[in-house]
């Protein structure tokens, strides 16, 4: 592996190129807003499922596929996008992809049937494929290792904000002006953010030397994948991510319809009831970063143990809530779940960056995205919809279908706990590299 010839005088340690001053915080603010746009555009459809079902007479399984297709195409295009990010430019790829997914979201407003909407949603997934790897790599370089989880936790707090805005805006706009208009309105902020992203600070691209790697060929991909998969902790982190994300994706897709069908909310208002749950995820994501960093000062493998504990607590809380459909206190229990649901993200995201060479950071996060989609959230919205259809074709089986979801969170806890046993050993193997500002 090849190091840059010299370190930047302002470097704050291996794998970092700048201090945590205004420059780094400016990067974080822009990437935060972009991640919000990502999830607004992705989840705006969730609060409009019953409106689309009414207009086009589709099943719950087909409705779930409108979310699954986005995740499928994210999975397909994450690897080529991450390779381009690591070899070309993180900021330029982020800008291009934000513009593409925003344009695809706008196209959803002009679809005339289910097939056209499905295709447009696929292009949303293509656009979103490289953002998480690119954003994670930029933040991992902009902040030193000791505060990396805090920065990533703050960044990931944008996810529930975006989900909340998407759910609220989708349901309200669909109710008053038609669901097609919701797609059009949420698309425009992303186009502006794409322009801003083009001018963000970035670091000079560093390469990982490999005699087996050709330019853009499959040998390069498998060489990098093999290098990363030598770390059991990384592989188990990816699987833990997958199980937790399968839970949150199923909930974010189906909770608006769930609340409406169980009598908790009126038609179009399910997203409003869902918002408080994911709004309090704003607490969980950064809180997980702060607490895991504090624990890590005494016990390095805390970045794996903390996700194990919070994943188990979140799954247990969710199960209690889902066993009491339509009851007033159910919402309060689910709000508690909202705090716990994303406590795992910051420490687990940090692990995907801690245990790899800086030249593989985007690729590592890309593999995490691939695993979490292939093994988790691609199929979870569809499965919940299909089980609901099998119980009752009129949609009344959704409450019972949702009871399968907490089991995935319990599996996540097991993966993180086992992975903690390998964290210190795998961290000791990582080469330390100084980065230079671009």
pLDDT tens-place string over residues 146-203: 777 778 778 877 887 888 888 888 888 888 888 888 998 899 899 999 999 888 877 6
Q: How many domains does the chain have?
A: 1
Output 25 or 205, whichever has higher pLDDT. Answer: 25
Q: Is the pLDDT of residue 34 over 60?
A: yes
Confidence band for 438, pLDDT divided at 50, 70 and 90: low
Lowest-confidence segment of 15-19, 91-95, 167-171, 409-413 by average pLDDT = 15-19
Residue 10 lies in a domain: no
CA distances 43 to 131, 165, 209, 271, Å, are 16, 9, 40, 10
User: Residue 35 is part of a domain; what is its CATH number?
Assistant: 1.20.1250.20
Residue 78 lies in a domain: yes
Residue 436 lies in a domain: no
Handedness of CA 186, 155, 19, 434 (dihedral sign): negative
Residue 333 lies in a domain: yes
Average pLDDT, the chain: 83
Q: What are phi and psi of 393, to 5 degrees?
A: -70, -15
Output 368 or 394, whichever has higher pLDDT. Answer: 368
Output 358 or 312, whichever has higher pLDDT. Answer: 312
Residue 261 lies in a domain: yes
Determine the average pLDDT of the residues in 70-85: 82
pLDDT in the model for residue 223? 72
Residue 15 lies in a domain: no
What is the C-alpha separation between 377 and 380, in angstroms, rounded? Answer: 5
The three-state (H, E, C) secondary structure of 356-422, written as one string: CCHHHHHHHHHHHHHHHHHHHHCCHHHHHHHHHHHHCCCCCCHHHHHHHCHHHHHHHHHHHHHHHCC
CB 126 within 8 A of CB 102: no
Query: For the segment 261-305, what is each residue's pLDDT rounded down to a tens digit?
Result: 888 888 777 878 887 787 776 788 778 888 988 998 889 899 999
CB 158 within 8 A of CB 279: no
Residue 8 lies in a domain: no
Confidence band for 7, pLDDT divided at 50, 70 and 90: very low
Residue 89 lies in a domain: yes
Output 120 or 355, whichever has higher pLDDT. Answer: 120
Q: Which domain holds residue 48?
A: 22-203+218-428
């Amino acid at each position: 592996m090849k190091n840059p010839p010299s370190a930047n005088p302002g470097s704050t340690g291996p794998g970092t190129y700048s201090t945590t001053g205004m420059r780094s915080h400016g990067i974080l603010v822009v990437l935060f807003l972009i991640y919000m746009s990502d999830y607004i555009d992705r989840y705006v459809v969730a609060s409009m499922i019953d409106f689309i079902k009414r207009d086009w007479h589709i099943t719950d399984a087909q409705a779930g596929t409108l979310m699954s297709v986005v995740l499928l195409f994210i999975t397909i295009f994450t690897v080529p996008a991450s390779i381009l990010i690591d070899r070309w430019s993180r900021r330029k790829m982020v800008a291009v992809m934000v513009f593409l997914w925003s344009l695809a979201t706008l196209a959803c407003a002009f679809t005339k049937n289910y097939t056209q909407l499905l295709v447009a949603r696929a292009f949303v997934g293509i656009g979103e494929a490289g953002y998480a790897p690119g954003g994670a790599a930029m933040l991992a370089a902009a902040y030193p290792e000791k505060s990396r989880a805090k920065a990533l936790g703050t960044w990931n707090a944008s996810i529930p904000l975006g989900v909340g805005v998407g759910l609220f805006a989708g349901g309200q706009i669909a109710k008053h002006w038609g669901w097609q208009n919701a797609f059009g309105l949420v698309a425009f902020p992303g186009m502006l953010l794409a322009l801003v992203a083009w001018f963000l600070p970035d670091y000079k691209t560093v390469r990982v030397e490999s005699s087996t790697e050709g330019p853009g060929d499959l040998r390069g991909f498998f060489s990098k994948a093999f290098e990363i998969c030598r770390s059991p902790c990384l592989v188990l982190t990816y699987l833990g991510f997958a199980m937790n994300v399968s839970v949150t994706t199923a909930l974010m897709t189906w909770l608006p319809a769930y609340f409406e069908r169980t009598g908790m909310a009126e038609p179009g208002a399910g997203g409003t009831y869902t918002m408080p749950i994911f709004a309090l995820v704003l607490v969980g994501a950064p809180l997980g970063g702060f607490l895991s960093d504090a624990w890590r000062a005494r016990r390095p493998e805390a970045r794996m143990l903390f996700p194990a504990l919070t994943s188990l607590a979140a799954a247990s809380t969710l199960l209690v809530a889902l066993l009491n459909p339509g009851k007033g206190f159910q919402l309060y229990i689910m709000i508690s779940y909202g705090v716990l649901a994303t406590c795992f993200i910051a420490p687990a995201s940090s692990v995907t960056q801690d245990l790899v060479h800086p030249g593989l950071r985007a690729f590592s996060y890309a593999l995490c995205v691939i695993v979490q989609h292939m093994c988790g959230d691609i199929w979870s919205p569809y499965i919940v919809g299909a089980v609901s259809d099998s119980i009752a074709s009129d949609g009344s089986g959704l409450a019972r279908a949702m009871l399968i979801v907490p089991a995935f969170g319990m599996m996540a806890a097991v993966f993180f706990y086992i992975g903690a046993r390998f964290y210190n050993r795998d961290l000791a193997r990582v080469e330390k590299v100084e980065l230079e500002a671009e």
